[in-house]
Homo-oligomer: A and B are copies of this chain.
Amino acid sequence: MPAARATAADAIVLPTWRDGSVRDAILSFVRSVTEPGPAFVPERDRIAAFDNDGTLWCERPVYVQADFVLRKWRAMVDADPSLAKRQPYKAVADDDREWLSTLTDHLPDLVRGVSEAFGGLTTEQFEAEAARFFREARHPTRGVPYTELVYTPMLELIRLLEASRFEVFICSAGGRDFVRAVCEDVYGIPRDRVIGSSAPVELREGSLVRTAGVEQPIDDGLGKPVHIWARTGRHPLFAAGNADGDIEMLAQARFALLVHHDDGDREQAYDTGSQRALAEAAARGWTVASMRDDFATVFGEAADR
- A230 on the interface (CB 8 Å rule)? yes
Per-position binary interface string of chain A over residues 226-240, scored 1 when its CB falls under 8 Å from any chain B CB and 0 otherwise:
100111111000000
Residues of A within 8 A of B (CB): 44, 47, 123, 167, 176-177, 180, 184, 190-192, 194, 198, 201-203, 206, 208, 222-223, 225-226, 229-234, 248, 251-252
Measured between beta carbons, the chain B residues less than 8 angstroms from A191 are 44, 232-234
Closest residue of B by beta carbon distance from A169: B192
Number of copies: 2
A230 touches B198 (CB 8 A): yes
Q: Decide: A225 near B208, CB < 8 A? Known: A44-B184, A177-B233, A192-B167.
A: yes
A225 touches B248 (CB 8 A): no
Whole-angstrom CA separation of A127 from B233 in the bound complex: 11
A222 touches B203 (CB 8 A): yes
Whole-angstrom CA separation of A295 from B180 in the bound complex: 40
Whole-angstrom CA separation of A222 from B206 in the bound complex: 9
With A191-B233, A203-B222 already in contact, 13 other A-B pairs whose C-beta atoms are closer than 8 Å = A123-B229, A176-B233, A180-B233, A191-B232, A191-B234, A192-B231, A192-B232, A192-B233, A194-B233, A201-B226, A202-B226, A203-B248, A208-B226
Provide the main secondary structure of the chain A interface: helix
- In the assembled complex, how far is the CB of residue A24 from the closest CB belonging to chain B, in whole angstroms? 28
Closest residue of B by beta carbon distance from A229: B208
Measured between beta carbons, the chain B residues less than 8 angstroms from A229 are 123, 201, 208
Whole-angstrom CA separation of A226 from B209 in the bound complex: 9
Whole-angstrom CA separation of A203 from B223 in the bound complex: 8
- In the assembled complex, how far is the CB of residue A181 from the closest CB belonging to chain B, in whole angstroms? 10
Whole-angstrom CA separation of A46 from B234 in the bound complex: 24
Measured between beta carbons, the chain B residues less than 8 angstroms from A167 are 192
Whole-angstrom CA separation of A250 from B93 in the bound complex: 46
Residue among A191, A192, A248 facing the most chain B CB atoms (10 A cut-off): A192
- In the assembled complex, how far is the CB of residue A82 from the closest CB belonging to chain B, in whole angstroms? 34
Measured between beta carbons, the chain B residues less than 8 angstroms from A230 are 176, 198, 201
Measured between beta carbons, the chain B residues less than 8 angstroms from A180 are 233
- 7 closest A-B pairs by CB: A191-B233, A192-B232, A203-B222, A180-B233, A203-B225, A201-B226, A208-B229
